[in-house]
Amino acid sequence: MTLSLSPVHDFDCQSCGACCAYSAEWPRFSLETDEELERIPADHVAADLGGMRCENDRCTALEGTLGKFVACKVYAVRPIVCRTCMPGDDECLMARERLFGAAA
């Protein structure tokens, strides 16, 4: 299945979603306080409590269709790693390349 995505220079996160769907190892908790972690709904937290729960490498808090329209169900309380991933940064580009190929 080939997904169509806007050119790399057009980093519209809500029409991408790659950073939330390329690895179950990526949405890990790091520097969050206990209070911040408690605000994340338990059904989106991994069984080992080390990060966000994923199904087939996709964060369960991500809704929508990759490459078309996506949104985060827990955007206001998302983990630090999600907050620090910025459009066009190394993590963004790596995720886009893995999911959509070099021509993303």
DSSP assignment of 4-56: ----TT---GGG--GGGTS-TTSSB--S--HHHHHHS-GGGB-TTSSBB-EET
In a domain, 8, yes or no: no
In a domain, 6, yes or no: no
**Which DSSP letter does residue 75 get?**
G
Q: What's the rounded Cα separation, in Å, for the pair 23 and 58?
A: 7
Chain segment 38-61, per-residue pLDDT in tens:
999 999 999 999 999 999 999 999
In a domain, 32, yes or no: yes
| Total count of domains within the chain | 1
In a domain, 24, yes or no: yes
In a domain, 103, yes or no: no
Q: Which residues contact 9 (CB under 8 A, 6 or more apart)?
A: none
Chain segment 10-49, per-residue pLDDT in tens:
688 999 999 999 999 888 999 999 999 999 999 999 999 9
- pTM here is 0.84
Question: Which residue segment(s) compose the domain that 65 sits in?
Answer: 13-98
